[in-house]
């Protein structure tokens, strides 16, 4: 079965998977790299070993699609016009801290960001490997953004940079690409009167990111149905030429809807899908 045909019949996927290692090998290697005690080659070797082990474990578990890649800060470090810090920690919630990048200039992508790792992951399995990118609206929402131009203009710049990455992933043989936009709903204006304009440029940025793919390339985007974002999901999916926008609402174990049907409402297996 080819990667393309396997992607068309994929049944099971996983949106996130622990990548640090059983004993936090990747975290220790990264810390050692910044301290100067671990070389770049050793860091890449550690990451490659963990990817190999994770792909094998997922394949043995029967996962049909294997995702690879994520993180706002990683992409910011690869894009021009973005400034990433080493010690600029900000509390996100609870005990979770992040280092938001600064989108301070015009955004562009000088070279591929995830193609190397995605093609490497694909070489480890005959199952489709899903490329993963953070969408333009979420990049803005989880960063400090320049205020000398409209957010819509910066979103378009990020979208065009990500579009180049999507095109390169597809050219490298990636048949399924996930563009995460959890912040699309989170940053929806509180005033109803402001929402139409926001959704217009936010969904335009998403479509600009993904509209260059072939009709047989799948575009996935989970998370958007959290906190009642169905309207945003349908708004975003409209006009998209090549794939499916996929979302899954989060329900607590005690939610009565799960007692009636353990699958979430929507498509077989519990996913809602919006297709053009």
Contacts of 182 (CB under 8 A, 6+ apart): 138, 223, 224, 226
As beta bridge partners, residue 131 has 68, 177
Average pLDDT of 103-119?
Answer: 92
d(CA 184, CA 202): 7
pLDDT band at 58; cut points 50, 70, 90: confident
Average pLDDT, the chain: 76
pLDDT of residue 20: 72
pLDDT band at 68; cut points 50, 70, 90: low
The continuous run of DSSP H or E covering 176 comes out as: strand 176-180
pLDDT digits (tens, 9 = 90+) for 205-224: 999 999 889 988 999 886 55
pLDDT of residue 16: 57
Average pLDDT of 73-101?
Answer: 81
Residue with the bigger pLDDT between 52 and 146: it is: 146
Give the Å distances, CA to CA, from 25 to 8, 29, 117, 178, 264: 35, 6, 18, 26, 35
pLDDT at 64 over 70: no
pLDDT digits (tens, 9 = 90+) for 226-271: 444 445 544 544 544 444 444 444 445 555 544 444 444 433 333 3
Residue with the bigger pLDDT between 159 and 2: it is: 159
pLDDT digits (tens, 9 = 90+) for 32-47: 888 889 998 898 888 8
pLDDT at 130 over 70: yes
Nearest 5°: phi and psi at 67? Answer: -80, 160
pLDDT band at 202; cut points 50, 70, 90: very high
**In 3-state terms, what secondary structure has residue 240?**
coil
d(CA 62, CA 2): 17
Instruction: Give percent of the chain with pLDDT exceeding 70.
Output: 68
pLDDT of residue 247: 45
**In 3-state terms, what secondary structure has residue 4?**
helix
- What domains, with CATH codes, occur in the chain? 3-274 (3.20.20.210)
**In 3-state terms, what secondary structure has residue 235?**
helix
d(CA 270, CA 255): 15
**Nearest partner of 226 among 199, 248, 201, judged by Cα:** 248
Give the Å distances, CA to CA, from 187 to 118, 202, 204: 30, 10, 15
pLDDT digits (tens, 9 = 90+) for 153-196: 999 999 999 999 999 999 999 999 989 888 888 888 999 999 99
pLDDT at 111 over 90: yes
Tokens for 261?
A: 């049907």
Q: What is the DSSP string of 113-169?
A: SSHHHHHHHHTT-SSPEEEEEE-HHHHHHTSEE-SSS-HHHHHHHHHHHHHHHHHHH
């Amino acid at each position: 079965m080819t990667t393309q045909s396997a992607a068309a019949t994929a049944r099971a996927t996983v949106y996130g998977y622990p990548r640090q290692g059983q004993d936090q090998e990747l975290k220790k290697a990264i810390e050692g790299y910044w301290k100067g005690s671990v070389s770049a080659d050793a860091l890449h070797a550690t990451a490659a070993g963990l990817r190999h082990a994770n792909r094998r474990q997922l394949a043995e578990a029967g996962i049909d699609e294997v995702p690879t890649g994520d993180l706002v800060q990683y992409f910011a470090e690869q894009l021009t016009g973005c400034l990433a810090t080493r010690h600029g920690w900000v509390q996100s919630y609870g005990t979770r801290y992040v280092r938001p990048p600064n989108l301070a200039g015009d955004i562009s992508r000088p070279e591929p960001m995830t193609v190397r790792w995605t093609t490497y992951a694909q070489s480890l399995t005959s199952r489709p490997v899903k490329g993963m990118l953070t969408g333009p609206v979420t990049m803005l929402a989880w960063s400090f953004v320049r205020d000398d131009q409209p957010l819509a203009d910066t979103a378009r710049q990020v979208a065009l940079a990500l579009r180049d990455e999507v095109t390169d992933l597809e050219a490298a043989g990636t048949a399924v690409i996930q563009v995460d936009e959890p912040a699309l709903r989170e940053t929806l204006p509180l005033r109803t009167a402001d929402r139409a304009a926001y959704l217009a440029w936010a969904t335009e940025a998403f479509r600009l990111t993904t509209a260059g793919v072939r009709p047989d390339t799948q575009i996935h985007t989970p998370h958007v149905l959290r906190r009642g974002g169905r309207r945003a999901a349908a708004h975003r999916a409209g006009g998209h030429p090549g794939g499916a926008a996929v979302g899954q609402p989060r329900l607590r174990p005690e939610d009565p809807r799960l007692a009636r049907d353990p699958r979430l409402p929507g498509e077989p297996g519990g996913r809602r899908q919006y297709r053009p």
